[in-house]
Amino acid sequence: MAHSLSRLLGAPPQLLQRTNCSSGLLISAVSTLLFPEFRTQTQPQQQELWENSGGGDGGSGGEIFLTRFDLKYTQSFSSGVPAAKMRSKDRIAYFYDGDVGSVYFGPNHPMKPHRLCMTHHLVLSYDLHKKMEIYRPHKAYPVELAQFHSADYVEFLHRITPDTQHLFSNELARYNLGEDCPVFENLFEFCQIYAGGTIDAARRLNNRLCDIAINWAGGLHHAKKCEASGFCYINDLVLGILELLKYHPRVLYIDIDVHHGDGVEEAFYFTDRVMTVSFHKYGDLFFPGTGDVKEIGEREGKFYAINVPLKDGIDDTSFTRLFKAIIAKVVETYLPGVIVLQCGADSLAGDRLGCFNLSIDGHAECVKFVKKFNLPLLVTGGGGYTKENVARCWTFETGVLLDTELPNEIPENEYVKYFAPDFSLRIPNGHIENLNSKSYLSMIKTQVLENLRCIQHAPSVQLQEVPPDFYIPDFDEDEQNPDERVDQHTQDKQIQRDDEYYEGDNDNDHNMDDV
């Protein structure tokens, strides 16, 4: 049993068991991915299960030394999926639930989920839905969320409400809920929806039902195993990657949010099964304060965490040149079977909480470049706090993924007034001073490529039985098909609060931590 989990994550069992819950390093909770009985066991009972299965501290430190072998480029993990090849036309799956945009963090909070509704309506107004398969994601079950997060944390999110939070002051502090991560109505359902979208996207990719899967509601990359962080409660990206690891020996995670993708990196810091690459602002006490180029992973995962720390004001030319050079070498060296791309839009010029000068064209150029590798691709949203620019960006990038050029004039739609006065899809570059000198960017690039040279070959794992999906339909299967295309999404309407779009003096908190 321990041997199987070690093969899945590429890490010794005793390392998985000794996870520090407060920091979320790696994934002791991920033992539930293969062993459902772990969900109901106490820590001593879990330790006993490990020891009885040969995963204790006996022998030479209890480590498992795996026999590795080379796999062909993008060969699927025990699935027989053929190597990637040029595709004549990509099959795109798009996940959206109208309820995801109706939650409300609070009038002074930068996170406005209504940006997702604005994005969806803009996608519809450009008729992009006619070129994709549109699905309503299932609401992730607690057992699915506990594949990464601790069961007690999931249970807490399940039961906490604004009316009862005064009864849980100790738990609120323990799980880091408060000003940045407030308790609001339908919090748990919100988490279930966006996490379910990323999980469903990964499963459709695993089963070769699509080539590209999009969940703009996902990408909440700061959440840790046992706590919320930076507006993120459940880390849907980690859950999606765990699904992909069932079929793929190697998963590449790329993050272009202005903030470091710390939650995803932390989850896979000790494994070579996932390579994380994050391009982000670093320094000046910028949240979350991690992501130095020297943070490269540890033990089995050493050199498999790549950080590209940037300074204020980076522009399209500098960013895309650096991005392409690094990602091209990463793909050549690591040979991933699938890519997960987090497209946080707070790296755009003019974002309320950002500090870069990227235009939508520059941001989307990264998406276009990743798409050209013709690998299975899971695309999510992330940060983004100037709502109309978030909608512009993710709609434009939906068009990029569909190989569809969009007119710059925004069509009539329910939220068109928020794109005044020019009603243009694109935004101009920013005017923040670019503090990223050519010598600095060259130094970062050189260091990253030097670390990549330390990877001798793409890691592989032995073939094994694929763990089952933890999906339990809550409807009569004779009456409803869970994979049925949901056309009613084109008519989804949202609940709009009078103060949802207010951007007055009291709704401009630039100091709050964010996605």
Query: HSE-up of 221 (CA within 13 Å, CB side)?
Result: 35
Q: How many CB atoms lie within 10 A of CB 143?
A: 15
Q: Is 180 annotated as a binding residue?
A: yes
User: What gap in Å lies between CA 170 and CA 152, rounded to an integer?
Assistant: 13
504 burial type by CB count under 10 A (0-12 exposed, 13-18 middle, 19+ buried): exposed
Is residue 196 domain-shared with residue 342, that is, in the same domain? yes
Cβ proximity of 258 and 386 under 8 Å = no
Whether residue 268 is contained in a domain is answered as no
pLDDT tens column, 247-268: 999 999 999 999 999 999 999 9
158 burial type by CB count under 10 A (0-12 exposed, 13-18 middle, 19+ buried): middle
Query: HSE-up of 230 (CA within 13 Å, CB side)?
Result: 26
pLDDT tens column, 460-490: 666 666 777 765 444 444 445 555 555 444 4
Q: Is 257 annotated as a binding residue?
A: yes
- Token pair in block for residue 109: 């909070």
pLDDT tens column, 331-389: 999 999 999 999 999 999 999 999 999 999 999 999 999 999 999 999 999 999 999 99
Is residue 8 domain-shared with residue 101, that is, in the same domain? no
User: What gap in Å lies between CA 429 and CA 361, rounded to an integer?
Assistant: 9
Instruction: Verify cis geometry, omega within 30 degrees of 0, for the bond prior to 336.
Output: no
Cβ proximity of 267 and 238 under 8 Å = yes
Is residue 358 domain-shared with residue 227, that is, in the same domain? yes
User: What gap in Å lies between CA 472 and CA 466, rounded to an integer?
Assistant: 18
Q: How many CB atoms lie within 10 A of CB 446?
A: 10
User: What gap in Å lies between CA 470 and CA 246, rounded to an integer?
Assistant: 12
Is residue 126 domain-shared with residue 219, that is, in the same domain? yes
Is residue 43 domain-shared with residue 123, that is, in the same domain? no
Whether residue 88 is contained in a domain is answered as no
The whole-number average pLDDT for the span 277-294 is 97
Give helix 360-371 / helix 387-401 axis angle, nearest 10°.
30
In this model, does residue 65 exceed pLDDT 70? no
Whether residue 74 is contained in a domain is answered as no
Look at the chain and report how many structural domains it folds into.
Answer: 2
**Domain interval for residue 34:** 2-52
pLDDT at 478: 46
Q: Which residues are catalytic?
A: 222
Is residue 16 domain-shared with residue 164, that is, in the same domain? no
Is residue 16 domain-shared with residue 132, that is, in the same domain? no
Whether residue 175 is contained in a domain is answered as yes
Is residue 27 domain-shared with residue 172, that is, in the same domain? no
Q: Report the CATH number at residue 230.
A: 3.40.800.20
Q: Is 474 annotated as a binding residue?
A: no
Instruction: Verify cis geometry, omega within 30 degrees of 0, for the bond prior to 309.
Output: no
Whether residue 290 is contained in a domain is answered as no
Q: Map residue 170 onto helix, strand or coil.
A: helix
User: What gap in Å lies between CA 488 and CA 134, rounded to an integer?
Assistant: 9
Is residue 11 domain-shared with residue 104, that is, in the same domain? no
User: Which residues are bridge partners to 213 per DSSP?
Assistant: 93, 378
Is residue 172 domain-shared with residue 31, that is, in the same domain? no
pLDDT at 73: 30
Q: Which helix (H) or strand (E) holds 95?
A: strand 92-95
In this predicted structure, which of 60-69, 89-98, 435-444 has the lowest mean pLDDT?
Answer: 60-69
Whether residue 353 is contained in a domain is answered as yes
Whether residue 352 is contained in a domain is answered as yes
Whether residue 278 is contained in a domain is answered as no
Is residue 43 domain-shared with residue 108, that is, in the same domain? no
Mean pLDDT of the chain: 82
pLDDT at 442: 98
Q: Is 385 annotated as a binding residue?
A: yes
Cβ proximity of 184 and 162 under 8 Å = yes
Is residue 12 domain-shared with residue 131, that is, in the same domain? no
